[in-house]
Each structure stands twice: as C-alpha cells, then as structure tokens.
Amino acid sequence: MDFLGAEYGPAQWHVRYSPVEELVYTILSQHTSDLNSERAFNSLMGTFDSIDAVADAPVEAIEEAIRRGGLAKQKAPRIKSVLCQIRDELGSFDLSFLAEMPLDEAKAWLKRLNGIGPKTAAIILCFSLGMPAMPVDTHIFRVSKRLGLIGAKVNADKAHDILEPMVEPQDVFAFHMYLIQHGRQVCKAQRPRCGECALGWGCRERPKLEREAKRAARKRKSGNKIG
C-alpha cells in the first residue's frame, strides 16, 4: 500500500451509481471494456427513464438498448430477471439498507440474487455504499498471485475471502484501486514491465517473468533476422 500509494497517489472514494444502478452496470461490464460497458449503461438509462421502466421492458428492448456493450442476448435477460426479483422482494429498488447490515450478511443477501456472485456483490457494497468489501477483478487476481498474496491454486471467487481480511477496512477501496491501476499499467498479463515495478523487489514471479521476456525477445530478434 505504501509503495503503490507513492506511485499512484491517494485513492478517493466517491459514489459512482446507486446500488441497483451499480448492479446493472456491473452486469454490463462483464467480458467487455470499461468504455463499452459505460456506453451500454448510458444507452440503457437514456432509453428508459427509470430502473422501474427497465424492469418492465421486454427483454428484446433491453437487448437493443445495450447492444453496443456486447453479449446483449445474455445480459438483457439477466438484468431483467434480477431487477424483477429485487422489486418483488422489496417493493422498490432501494438497497441502501445493506449499509446497515454486517458486511457478511450484506454480501449474503446480494449473492442469493440471480446471477450475483462475490465480485458483483463486493463492487456494489464497495463502490455504492462505501463498505469494506474487496472486489477482485482480473488485474487484482493476477497481481496478487504474482506477489504471492494468494496461492497459485486459489480461484477468483476464493480470492475475495483471502484478500479482504489482509487489508484494514479503511484501506480496502485504496488497495482495490491501486492493484487495478498497477495491473493495467505495469503488471500486465502480457509483457509486464518488471523493470519499472515499485514492488519488483518482493515479487516472487519476477525472475520467471524476466526469463520469459528475454526468451520472447530473442525469438523476435531471431525471427527478424530470418525475415
């Protein structure tokens, strides 16, 4: 945290969307880029004037509204199903009561909804309600494994339960943001920039990654000579 904080600056928490809007946005963000998910969300909310209207809309209309985000045929029925489930149970879409619950209970309430797993539940609680839930995306999962914070055989769902208690509650959001930023800019899936890494001194994967990078560079050089 100290090293990445010095690298990336303070991570300021602010409300992005209401909890139910965050839920919809997170479904739209699955298997697509941030840009496409934002476009799809804005298109959805621009097409329908409220979450109620989204829940009432035919699946085909939702699908058309979110088409630009990708996988619309899969995401549209998922969005309608979970919104209808929430409204049937609560009579509204107000999920603010979750902030008054213990964290584990709030997570459990969300994960019983159709299609809501640990990552989506943590995103809603962290980003909308400021609770110390740890969302683990692909960047955090990769960086944590390379650093040895989680074991090589730990899956993404289990990583939430392992990483969250490692971090002080007040630091969970910053930890999440730092590792995402680090995974995008330095500790990339392909060609990680180990020489520029603020955590390289303690990374158990660095020797292996650097050997792989050298082999790839030699292979490219050899290919260029042949060409």
Angle of CA points 40, 30, 187, to nearest 5°: 115
pLDDT, position 152:
87
Which tokens belong to 4?
């990445």
pLDDT, position 225:
62
- Given the structure tokens 């459990």, which residue do they identify? 108
Q: What is the pLDDT of residues 42-95, one digit of tens each?
A: 999 999 989 999 999 999 999 999 998 888 999 999 999 999 999 999 999 999
Q: What is the pLDDT of residues 97-149, one digit of tens each?
A: 999 999 999 999 999 998 899 999 999 999 999 999 999 999 999 999 999 99
Domains of the chain: 19-129 (1.10.340.30)
Distance CA 186, CA 52 (A): 42
**pLDDT grade for 179, boundaries at 50, 70 and 90:** very high
Distance CA 148, CA 203 (A): 7
Question: Catalytic residue numbers?
Answer: 119
Let me know: does 183 contact 143? Beta carbons within 8 Å. yes
Question: Residue 21 carries which side chain, given as an amino acid letter?
Answer: E
Let me know: does 120 contact 26? Beta carbons within 8 Å. yes
pTM of the entire predicted model: 0.88
The string over 105-135, giving b where at least 16 C-beta atoms fall within 10 Å of a residue's C-beta and e elsewhere, is: ebbebbeebebbebbbbbbbbbbbbebbbbb
H helix intervals, the chain: 2-8, 19-29, 34-47, 51-56, 59-65, 72-90, 103-111, 118-123, 129, 138-147, 156-163, 172-185, 206-226
Angle of CA points 111, 113, 115, to nearest 5°: 85
